[in-house]
Structure 1
Amino acid sequence: MSDYVTRKQDGYYQLELIVQGAHCGGCRSRIERGIGELVGVSQVRMNLSTLRLVTTWTGEVLTAGDITTKLSQLGFGSAPYQVLTAQTQSEAELKTLLRAMAVAGFAAMNVMLLSIAVWSGGSEMSASTHSLLHWVSALIALPTVAYSGRTFFSSAWQALKNRQTNMDVPISLALILACALSLYETIQSNPETYFDAAVMLLFLLLIGRFLDAKLRLRTGDAARRLAALQITSATRILKNGSIETVPASSIHPDDTLLIPAGQRIPVDGIIIKGVSDVDVQIVTGETSPKSFGVGGRLYSGTTNLTAPLTLKAVAASSDSFLSEITMLVEAGEQSKSKFVRIADRAARAYVPVVHTIALATFIGWLWAGGDLRVAALNAIAVLIITCPCALGLAVPAVQIVAAGKLFKHGVLIKSGNALERLAKTKSVIFDKTGTLTTGQFTLLNFDEIQPQAIKTAAALAHHSNHPLARALHGYKSDLILTDVEEKPGLGLSGFLKDKPVLFGSADFTTATYVDGAASTAWLKIADDDPILFTFADQLREDAQQAVEDLIALSLRLEMLSGDRNEVVKQAASDLGISQWRGEVTPRQKMNLIHQRWAENYYPLMVGDGINDAPALAAANASASLTGASDISRSASDIILQGDRLSGLPIAINIARQAQSRVIENLTLAVLYNLLAIPLAVFGFVNPLIAALAMSGSSLLVTLNALRISRS
């Protein structure tokens, strides 16, 4: 197992396992809590949709064997995580549940028919016929419960064997007691049995378990498809020039890779040889390929299309872009929000509380009437009707559906509590350059400049990666300049046939400063008058619509930028954002975030640069584009794929819907238990009615959660 441990760049160790036997939020909480108690563990994350457990730790004291042993003690099996294995295991679980559900459904139908015959027969049915029908019911029900109930029995046994409890313990106890009491009643030839209740309870529980597994499998498809893109080998070039084929997982930073045309890029890297078109849709959302040459950075998951490339790896597979995106998708289903913590605590308290109530009910009825049979029936009804399936599903069902819908709209959410924080948002604060704008400048006054001047400026600009210089990279020039030098903060200088040439700021070229919203640069050739070049940063195509949609959601919008006031004012005016500030520092951005907090605006910060990271971290919620800096993406709660701002209002709207559904589900679960428990304790429901009521509550919260996907 130690072969599957990955050494991270920051000195941490990481192990990815597929967990066997986990099926609910209580299982996940117990696993995360148990593994988190091991010495050195810094982070543990369990994903129910993909059954993937990722454990990160420091130091060499903890081993992979310690983690798998702890899982075994908690009652769960494990194996090294592989996408195909996880897919197969999830599908096998679904098929097992489907078979068990089919058997239970068929048996429930037949036992109910026999029960109806007994109920309708009344005094006209002889005692021997009555007893025979009960025995036939037993012959159908007992094997059915033994076969179809294995999911619950094995889970409960694993928990009890390791001195643990879970929600399957009282379920199993209720099924066993109901069958045992009914068999006793049949042997004693008593008039009432509850085989129908046991089989119906099992059938309805399996429906809920099957729907939950189906929902998790469907939601996990996105993460599995992304992870499957990482299943690739790579051709590594050794120092002696020979090549070898290795799994992508064994690639290390600084390795040299040969990427033939048609192959997917296995890890993040920089091109050191070759020029080729690359399909970058997974990163930017653009359907058209982009051309990359020496120095270009490629991300894992993109595909080399036209020519061989030699790549220098800059990250291991587990630290590359595609792995990060996969983790974000999985993390979107995880949750430690206020509502999840409430549900987790309630689920942990459930077993002792319910067992205590059931025992008290049994003793109370014995004390009140002394009838062992009635006391047992009411205690069993308490165990059945208080099954916490509705409470356990109340929050996770909503978050799974919401995360899946957000992914379809190109929004990756990094944590469950981000939904809760997004729903509280009252103001959105935008960075300008690279967020509302593309960060790519275009020349505005092309028609006012002589062609020779354009060629001269372009020849100089080709020697620089400054944003204004890049705006001229598309202009061809056959001029040859010598002694070209870039002076940071000023511009470029060189010689054209012994004539000095300058291109840059007004101070650098001795030009007169021009005030205005456009960005400017000047070209000066020898002693000629400086020539003005004006540039503009283009707004993103969907920025206007995104702003309008956010305003429609009654949100206060602001724009903050380190750019000049005139430029920021013009961009804000074009977009219809009334609140704006230019020439602000990163600290000033963060201070304004704190001010909005104090005003109870629960600010959402949207940025892309390293300078935005403090504000992103300080905000109530934060968002970055896919193309943002690594630091900004790490500080953000949601990632907008394809650099599309249109996902932002969608995310807030879905978060608000999810918040409403969570509150409704928790309210329904609490009201159900407040009503159901007294009815069971005081003998107003039998085990059959209890089974129907319990399953109805679970179905209700699941259907309520699914309303998000249909809205």
Structure 2
Amino acid sequence: MSCCAPPLALDGASDPSAARQEIRLASRDLGNGLRQSDLSVPGLHCAACIRAVETGLARLPGVAQVRVNLSTRRAAVQWRGEEAPELLTALAGLGYPGHLFESDAEGTDPERDRLIRALAVAGFCAMNIMLLSVSVWSGAEPETRQAFHWISGALALPCLLYSGRIFFASAWAVLRRGRTNMDVPISIGICLAFALSLYDTIHDGPHAYFDAATSLIFFLLIGRTLDHLMHEKARAAVRGLMRLAPRGATVLDTDGGRSYLPLAEVAPGMRIALTAGERVPVDGIVEEGASELDCAIATGESAPQSVSSGMAVQAGTLNLSGPLTILATAKAESSFLAEMVRLMEAAEGGRARYRRIADRAAALYSPVVHATALIAFLGWMMATGDWHRAITIAIAVLIITCPCALGLAVPIVQVVASRRLFEAGIMVKDGSAIERIAEIDTVAFDKTGTLTFGRPQLVDPASIPAVDLAIAAAIARRSSHPLSRAIAAAAPEAGLALTDIREHPGFGVEAELEGHCYRLGRAEWALAEAGGQPESGTMLSRDGALVARFAFAETLRPQARAAVDALRADGLSIVLLSGDRPVAVQPIAGRLGIDAVSAGLLPAGKVERLAALAAEDRKVLMVGDGLNDAPALAAAHASMAPASAADIGRNAADFVFLHDGLDAVPTAIAVARAAGRLIRQNFALAILYNALALPVAIAGYVTPLIAALAMSLSSILVVANALRLDAGKAQVRAGTDTRQAGKLAPACEPGE
């Protein structure tokens, strides 16, 4: 359903020159004299809004391109020139006041709260008026009928003034600028029904249609609220990713002093002091120090990466163990993290184009209904000369053609499907994704944390002497490294008296025991004193001599092979996209029978791979969990993530499965396909209803109340059809292979 929210008050644009200066300062340099300004436009809600903003801003001198993102309600404007265009003033003149977009803006959602309050008021009034109408239409005495009409009118008034203002304000905002939208006929029908009902109540008429006006508002608000909540889900991932950026950085001055600067003021060439536990604020190069970084946002790997002098670091990665001094090489707006945010927003903007097609089709509703109601009124006036009858029929035409059934055709099935999926342990983050996942023909999996749990586990600990394993476990408990945790979990606490314990970032842990020096970590470091042939992997040494070798593997998720086989049996292509090294990816792909494998991909590389598949007219479901998967999850036709995924991955995904098993993937596809069939049936029912009801209403056989009841009946039919969704038919055909839960698959070289 298309709609337009009432314009908000313009913030910060009362002084055009000051606003233009602020826009220039906040703009981003794209090169070749081109700059980009991002504006927040809260009043964007439908295709008509998008066309008005894009067309209006494009007319301004110096504006090169305007791109509106319906999901995030942002307008990205590219412009040239020494002075910024008067963008905020132009937006206000178009009826869509806005302000500069602030990346760290937080707070509540006033539009959601407003819709929910309006829905509650409309529901209360409509239900009570309908109860009173039952008595009236059942043949109440004239005195009782008149009293009930006045009570109904009193109940309808707050519904119109409070809940109806959402439609009235939207209709007035476009009418005064010579445009129209779907809220115009809705507002006319509501106001006419209330006015005629009030007239008949005052003149002791037998019928009043307060129930028709309030029921119309209530049903329309249901669809509008659901639509708004879906938009908010799309914005959550971008906001979560922005929170990974620190608000500022400790900059080292030339005289050795330190100062804390806001992130926006950090410029290339500045030296930044970074302590353990802090995130890297901007892209840079390590000047001093050695440490380990959690680079999951970039590679998806849980294993920390060692960095030292001369190595590049990326914004958003987490410094784990040692202090670093880095030289900034980019501003915050040009950093790796900012690029990821832009990738996600670009993906959402592309996704919004699918919604525009439906909005443009729905926009035809308004002029058609206006013309039909007017013709009905004029025709009956000419035929009978009875204005009361003519206007009653016109109201009936306006109400009976209300697109409630069309508006509920998709959301109600999405609600039922969401409940069915929740019963199967799958959370739906975006209702429109149920339709999109039913269309997919390719499934792309991430490796670490998706096909596997992403946690290393020690292979065959029984082959290591118990004494040596106990010593290694005691040393490993002094480190938070994932491989150390795997060794510590393989042996119980032995109470060994370790002394002089030291952790060497990027190498391992060293400790003294009974006069001997033990080292647990990289082979080249642990065996440095022994010389001889270089070795690799994770090892335990005593006084430089080899004591034990450790090999690690990742655990496949339960039902991983069964899920892949079920998807392949349904005719879907399977692709593996991973940021890990090929030597770690190939064994997993081999065990699952996946031939199409791309390893060593950065976030942008995954998005490019998905774009290449889309260019082949493939519709891809992306299943991933890491921070580095967030742009790919947003760019895919549909996306899923496990509950164990990082916050950003969960926010970016359309679906989140709560259980460990990968059988959630084919289950979600099966439920979505069943839901797709019901959506098409609902559309057919809604179209058939309008085809039958409209001629009857024009012929004068329908009162406004019957029109409202017919509209409600069409909605009830749509809801009843949606409830036919049978979760029992949407189970994974391959079943559950519980034996696979305990199997290990080599995922990395020992010690990596």
Q: Same fold (TM over 0.5)?
A: yes
1:44 aligns with 2:68: yes
Tell me what 1:670 maps to.
687
**CA–CA distance in structure 2, aligned partners of residues 109 and 196 of structure 1:** 8
SS in 1 for 2:98: strand
**CA–CA distance in structure 2, aligned partners of residues 217 and 631 of structure 1:** 17
2:217 pairs, out of 202, 209, 228, with 202
Tell me what 2:705 maps to.
688
> Structure 1: where are the runs of 5+ without partners?
439-443, 448-471, 482-495, 504-535, 585-605
1:377 aligns with 2:392: yes
SS in 2 for 1:77: coil
**CA–CA distance in structure 1, aligned partners of residues 48 and 205 of structure 2:** 39
1:192 aligns with 2:207: yes
1:347 aligns with 2:362: yes
**CA–CA distance in structure 2, aligned partners of residues 392 and 649 of structure 1:** 28
Alignment of 1:490-501 (within 5 A): none
**CA–CA distance in structure 1, aligned partners of residues 294 and 585 of structure 2:** 34
**CA–CA distance in structure 2, aligned partners of residues 648 and 62 of structure 1:** 52
By how many angstroms is 1:55 displaced? 0.6
**CA–CA distance in structure 2, aligned partners of residues 263 and 432 of structure 1:** 27
By how many angstroms is 1:177 displaced? 1.0
1:550 pairs, out of 528, 541, 564, with 564
By how many angstroms is 1:156 displaced? 1.2
Amino acid at match of 2:74: L
By how many angstroms is 1:118 displaced? 4.0
The answer to whether the 8 Å contact 2:30/2:36 transfers is no
1:17 aligns with 2:15: no
1:97 aligns with 2:115: yes
**CA–CA distance in structure 1, aligned partners of residues 127 and 375 of structure 2:** 34
The answer to whether the 8 Å contact 2:26/2:37 transfers is yes
Q: 1:301 to 1:139 in 2, by over 3 A?
A: same
2:376 pairs, out of 348, 357, 361, with 361
Amino acid at match of 2:42: Q
Alignment of 1:145-224 (within 5 A): 145-217=160-232, 220-224=235-239
**CA–CA distance in structure 2, aligned partners of residues 394 and 231 of structure 1:** 44
**CA–CA distance in structure 1, aligned partners of residues 353 and 74 of structure 2:** 22
2:100 pairs, out of 77, 80, 89, with 80
SS in 1 for 2:326: strand
Alignment of 1:500-579 (within 5 A): 542=556, 546=560, 548-553=562-567, 554-555=570-571, 557=573, 574-577=591-594
The answer to whether the 8 Å contact 1:624/1:636 transfers is no
Q: Give me the identity figure in percent.
A: 41
The answer to whether the 8 Å contact 1:332/1:412 transfers is no
Q: 1:609 to 1:336 in 2, by over 3 A?
A: closer
Q: 1:421 to 1:300 in 2, by over 3 A?
A: same
Q: 1:150 to 1:246 in 2, by over 3 A?
A: farther
**CA–CA distance in structure 2, aligned partners of residues 324 and 652 of structure 1:** 31
**CA–CA distance in structure 1, aligned partners of residues 715 and 128 of structure 2:** 24
Q: 1:634 to 1:380 in 2, by over 3 A?
A: closer
Q: 1:116 to 1:433 in 2, by over 3 A?
A: closer
**CA–CA distance in structure 2, aligned partners of residues 398 and 30 of structure 1:** 31
Q: 1:431 to 1:180 in 2, by over 3 A?
A: closer
By how many angstroms is 1:702 displaced? 8.5
Q: 1:149 to 1:337 in 2, by over 3 A?
A: closer
The answer to whether the 8 Å contact 1:366/1:372 transfers is yes
The answer to whether the 8 Å contact 1:430/1:607 transfers is no
SS in 2 for 1:190: coil
When the two structures are superposed, what TM-score results if normalisation uses the length of structure 1? 0.66
By how many angstroms is 1:94 displaced? 3.1
Amino acid at match of 2:618: N
Amino acid at match of 1:17: L
By how many angstroms is 1:157 displaced? 1.1
By how many angstroms is 1:276 displaced? 3.7
By how many angstroms is 1:294 displaced? 3.8
Tell me what 1:517 maps to.
none
Tell me what 2:504 maps to.
none
By how many angstroms is 1:348 displaced? 1.8
**CA–CA distance in structure 2, aligned partners of residues 79 and 3 of structure 1:** 13
Deviation track 1:103-162 (CA, whole Å, cap 9, x = no partner) reads 43444455445544544554x435xx7555544543443354123322111111111122
Q: 1:198 to 1:279 in 2, by over 3 A?
A: same
Tell me what 1:5 maps to.
26
By how many angstroms is 1:17 displaced? 3.0
The answer to whether the 8 Å contact 2:28/2:333 transfers is no
The answer to whether the 8 Å contact 1:16/1:80 transfers is yes
SS in 2 for 1:476: helix
By how many angstroms is 1:76 displaced? 2.1
Q: 1:412 to 1:131 in 2, by over 3 A?
A: closer
Deviation track 1:415-459 (CA, whole Å, cap 9, x = no partner) reads 98x987865554669999999999xxxxx9xx9xxxxxxxxxxxx
Q: 1:56 to 1:708 in 2, by over 3 A?
A: farther
By how many angstroms is 1:344 displaced? 1.9
Deviation track 1:567-610 (CA, whole Å, cap 9, x = no partner) reads 99998764335xx699x9xxxxxxxxxxxxxxxxxxxxx98598
Alignment of 1:426-437 (within 5 A): 426=441
Deviation track 1:680-707 (CA, whole Å, cap 9, x = no partner) reads 3333433234335546666887998999
SS in 2 for 1:164: coil
SS in 2 for 1:20: coil
The answer to whether the 8 Å contact 1:616/1:632 transfers is no
SS in 2 for 1:265: coil
**CA–CA distance in structure 2, aligned partners of residues 434 and 340 of structure 1:** 32
**CA–CA distance in structure 1, aligned partners of residues 78 and 398 of structure 2:** 40
Amino acid at match of 1:97: L
SS in 1 for 2:80: coil
The answer to whether the 8 Å contact 1:74/1:159 transfers is no
By how many angstroms is 1:202 displaced? 2.5
By how many angstroms is 1:192 displaced? 1.7
Tell me what 1:141 maps to.
156
**CA–CA distance in structure 2, aligned partners of residues 315 and 400 of structure 1:** 45
SS in 1 for 2:402: coil
**CA–CA distance in structure 2, aligned partners of residues 9 and 559 of structure 1:** 34
SS in 1 for 2:249: strand
Amino acid at match of 2:566: A
Deviates more, 1:428-437 or 1:22-31: 428-437
By how many angstroms is 1:356 displaced? 1.0
Q: 1:236 to 1:628 in 2, by over 3 A?
A: same
Alignment of 1:406-421 (within 5 A): none
Deviates more, 1:110-119 or 1:566-575: 566-575
Amino acid at match of 2:156: A
Tell me what 2:247 maps to.
232
By how many angstroms is 1:2 displaced? 0.8
Q: 1:607 to 1:545 in 2, by over 3 A?
A: farther
Tell me what 1:591 maps to.
none
1:476 aligns with 2:525: yes
**CA–CA distance in structure 1, aligned partners of residues 95 and 708 of structure 2:** 27
By how many angstroms is 1:40 displaced? 0.9
Tell me what 2:618 maps to.
620
Q: 1:648 to 1:208 in 2, by over 3 A?
A: closer
Amino acid at match of 1:146: L
SS in 2 for 1:340: helix
Tell me what 2:489 maps to.
none
**CA–CA distance in structure 2, aligned partners of residues 692 and 635 of structure 1:** 43
**CA–CA distance in structure 2, aligned partners of residues 695 and 148 of structure 1:** 18
By how many angstroms is 1:30 displaced? 5.1
**CA–CA distance in structure 2, aligned partners of residues 133 and 393 of structure 1:** 31
